[in-house]
Chains A and B, each alone.
Chain A
Amino acid sequence: MRTCPTCQRPVAEGQKFCSHDGTRIPQDVAPQQVSAPAPPVAPTVPPQYAPTPTQPPNVSHAPHASAQDAPIERLKCQWCESMNEKGATTCRTCGAPLDIKNLVSESGWREAPRLKDMTEFQFGQSTCQVEGEIVPVAELNLAPGDAVYFEHHVLLWKDDITPMSTMPLQGGIKRVLAGMPFIISVANGPGRVAFSRDATGELVVLPLHPGMELDVREHAFLLASHHINYSFVRVKGLRNILFGGQGMFMDRFVTGPTPGMLILHGYGNVFERVLRPGESIMVEPGAFLYKDSSVTMDVEFVQLTSGWFGGSTMSLARMTGPGRVGIQSMYVHHHTE
C-alpha cells in the first residue's frame, strides 16, 4: 500500500496525488507490498503493547532505520496551513511562497501572498498554474473526473477538447433580479482552461478544508473546484442591502467531506485579518472581499455635517468576529458584463 509522504495517509493504487493534501505521489518508488522483504525496522507492535515514550527504542537497528524512522521535517504554509515537504519553495496546496517572510502590518492585517509568476499547485488530481503578476491568469490542467465552476465572463481560453456544462442553480429569478449571473458554467476534465478578470489585482487561493463556510462578495470569485458546494445567501437588512456596497446576495461556499479549492480575484492588494470573538472593525463596504460565515456584517452610518450645507453620510460595515475577514485595496466595482 502506498502512503502519502506528507500526511502518511494511504493512497490507492494508481493515484498520482494524495486526495487529502494534494501531495504528488512518487511513481518510481515501489509500493509497499505485504510480500515485500521486511525493512530493517522493529516489528509491528499492537498499540496497547507499544513501548512508552520513556522506554528507549531498540537502538540496535538505528543506523539502518534512521532514514525512515526520523521524523519528517515539514514546512507549514502560513497562508493555508498545509504541510509541505522540506525544501519546497512554494506551497503545494495554495502556491504561496514558503521562502518569503509573511507580511503582516502592525495593525494586524496580513497581506495575501504574492504568488510567484508561473507558480504551480495541485488540487485533487489537477494542477493550477498562476501566470503573470499585474492581472494574473489561473491556468488549470484538469484531470479526468475533476471539474471547476465559474462565472462565464472570467473565461480566458480553453482547449477545444475541454468539455463544458452548466450548473443548475436554485432561485434563478432572484439571482437575475439581484444582478447575479443566472448561469454558472462548469469546465470538466480532461483538458486545459484558463481564467482572469478585468483589472489589476491579486489571485487569492483559498483551500477550503472540510466543514468550512466562506462568504464572498458577489462577482469576486474566479473559480471553485467541484468538491465545493455553491450557494448564495441574502444579505440581511435593508440598510445592508442598500448601503453594503455589494447588492442583495453574497456567494457562499461550503465544503463537504472532501477539501476543495476556491480562487478569488481581489482588486489591487488583498489583506486578511482574523477577528477574535466579539472583536469589531469598521470597513468600507466596497472593500469587503470575503469572510468566514461566523463573521457578522452590519452597515452603520457616520453623519458628517457642515452647517448650512447639510453634509453627507458615510456608510461603514462593522465586521464582528470570530473569523477571517478579507478586503481589497481598490474597491471601485468594475462592471464586466
Chain B
Amino acid sequence: MSNIPVERHYTCPWCNTVSDGTQLSCPGCGVSIDVEKIVTKSGWIEMPGRKDMTKIQLGHSSLQIEGEYVPVADFNLAPNDGVYFSHHVLLWMDTQVKVSAMSLKGAWNRLFAGLPLIMTEAQGPGHIAFTRDAPGELIALPIQPGQAVDVREHIFLVATHSVSYDWFDTGVWFTTQEDNSSKTHYPLGRYMDRFFAQQAPGLLLLHAAGNAFIRHLAPGQSILVKPTALLFKDPTVQMHLHLEYPRGSSGSSWGLFSSSWRSRHLWLKLYGPGRVAIHSAYDPAGDDGRVIWRHSDATQQEW
C-alpha cells in the first residue's frame, strides 16, 4: 500500500471554487460543503445552507456572515482594502472606516432609470457591515480575472474594489397604450449591472429574497423565468421577452398582443450556455394589463 496522500479536489457547485474539501465551508463563497448537494429533478441546485458566523478570507481582509433570517455581511477591512455599495444597505461601521462617493458614468440615464446615482465606497482599516430589508440569503460570488456576471438591478449588495462595475441596457421592454397615452414597461428593469474582474480576483455579494437556486444551461437550451425572479446570469446567456396566452383565456383576441392581463403571462426567455440563478420571493412584474402596442424582440405562444 502506498502512503502517498491522495490529492482531493472539491468544486463548489455555487461558485466553482476548487478546494481540497477538507474544510466545512467553501473558502470562496462560504457555503457548507459537508452537506449533500440538493438538486431538484428539473436540475435546479438549491443554494446550500451556510453556517452562522461563516468566515471567508479575502486576502488580508475577511468577511463574516452573521444571522440566518436576514443575514449580515460583516467585513473586516485591512488597510488599503475597500468595498463599494449602495448606501442604503449599510448597517453599521467602525468610526475609523472612511466612506466616500464613487462617481458613475451615465448619471442622467441612471437617474431616469431609478438606479442609485452614487455608489458609496468604504476604505479600511475597520469593520463595516451590510444587510438588506428582506428575509433571504446572501450569495457570495468569487469572480476570477476575466470573468463577468450580469446581475439584475437592486440585487447587488457589496463588492470588493478589485471587481469593476458597469451597466448595460437590458433590451427587454414593451409599450402599452390606452386612449392617447402610452407607457413603456421594463419587466427586467431598464438596466442591468455587470461586474467583472480584470486582473485580480474579487468577491461580489448579492442578496436573494427567499431561497436561491442556480442552473447550468447547455448551449441552445432555453428556459422561461419570471423576469423579476432573475438574480444573475453569465454574460453568455442570452435573453428576450416571451409572451404566453393560455387557451380559452378571456379578453380580446384581436391582434397579436391584445389579450387582457388575466390571460397574459410575461416571461423572460433565457438561452444557454451559462449559469442562471433565480430567487423564490419576487415582485410581480409591471404589467398594467393594457394592450401591448410595441415591444422588444419577443417570442410568443398561444395555446
Residues of A within 8 A of B (CB): 103, 105-107, 109, 111, 134, 200-202, 267-269, 271, 280-284, 287, 302, 304-309, 311-312, 314, 316, 318, 327, 329-332
Contacts and interface: CB of A to CB of B under 8 A. Distances in A.
Contact of B67 (A268, A308, A331): A268
B103 A271 contact: no
B118 A304 contact: yes
B66 A330 contact: no
Given A107-B74, A312-B117, A314-B87, 17 more contacts: A103-B53, A106-B74, A269-B69, A281-B92, A281-B94, A283-B92, A287-B91, A287-B131, A304-B87, A304-B100, A304-B101, A305-B101, A307-B103, A309-B117, A311-B117, A316-B93, A331-B131
Determine which residue in A269, A314, A316 has the highest number of CB atoms from chain B within 10 A of its CB, and name it: A269
A268 to B, nearest CB: 3
B72 A269 contact: yes
A24 to B, nearest CB: 31
Given A281-B92, A284-B92, A304-B100, A268 B70 contact: yes
Given A302-B99, A330-B131, A330-B135, A312 B87 contact: yes
A6 to B, nearest CB: 30
B92 A282 contact: yes
Contacts of A331: 91, 131, 133
Contacts of B129: 107
B226 to A, nearest CB: 22
B90 interface: yes
A269 B69 CA distance: 6
B94 A282 contact: yes
B133 A269 contact: no
Contact of B68 (A105, A267, A269, A332): A269
B117 A318 contact: no
B95 interface: yes
A109 B101 contact: no
Contact of B74 (A109, A287, A316): A109
A314 B76 CA distance: 21
Nearest to A312: B118
A204 to B, nearest CB: 13
Interface residues of B, number: 38
A18 B76 CA distance: 45
28 contacts: A105-B53, A105-B74, A107-B76, A109-B66, A111-B52, A134-B69, A200-B69, A267-B70, A269-B69, A269-B71, A271-B66, A281-B95, A304-B99, A306-B103, A311-B117, A312-B87, A312-B117, A314-B90, A314-B99, A316-B90, A329-B70, A329-B71, A329-B72, A329-B91, A330-B132, A330-B133, A331-B91, A332-B133
The 9 closest A-B pairs by CB, nearest first: A268-B70, A269-B67, A332-B133, A330-B70, A304-B101, A329-B70, A107-B127, A200-B135, A283-B92
B111 interface: yes
Contacts of A269: 66-72
B38 interface: no
A10 to B, nearest CB: 42
B95 A282 contact: yes
A105 B91 contact: no
B64 interface: yes
B122 to A, nearest CB: 11
Contacts of B103: 306-307
Interface of B: 52-53, 55, 62, 64, 66-72, 74, 76, 87, 90-95, 99-101, 103-104, 107, 111, 117-118, 120, 127, 129, 131-135
Nearest to B131: A329
Nearest to B87: A314
Contacts of A308: 107
Given A284-B90, A330-B133, A111 B67 contact: yes
A234 B68 CA distance: 34
A306 B108 CA distance: 12
Nearest to A314: B87
B113 to A, nearest CB: 14
A200 B99 contact: no
A20 to B, nearest CB: 34
A113 to B, nearest CB: 12
A105 B70 contact: no
A107 B64 contact: yes
Contacts of B62: 106
Nearest to A308: B107
Contacts of A302: 99
Determine which residue in A103, A201, A268 has the highest number of CB atoms from chain B within 10 A of its CB, and name it: A268
A330 to B, nearest CB: 4
Contacts of B133: 330-332
Contacts of A306: 101, 103-104, 107, 117-118
Nearest to A199: B135
Contact of A268 (B74, B92, B101, B135): B135
B97 to A, nearest CB: 8
B66 to A, nearest CB: 5
Nearest to B111: A309
A308 B118 CA distance: 12
Given A111-B66, A304-B118, A314-B120, A106 B76 contact: yes
Contact of A327 (B87, B92, B101, B132): B92
A99 to B, nearest CB: 16
Nearest to B116: A312
Nearest to A325: B92
B69 A327 contact: no
B91 A283 contact: yes
Contacts of B74: 105-107, 109
Contact of B69 (A202, A309, A312): A202
A304 B86 CA distance: 11
Nearest to B107: A309
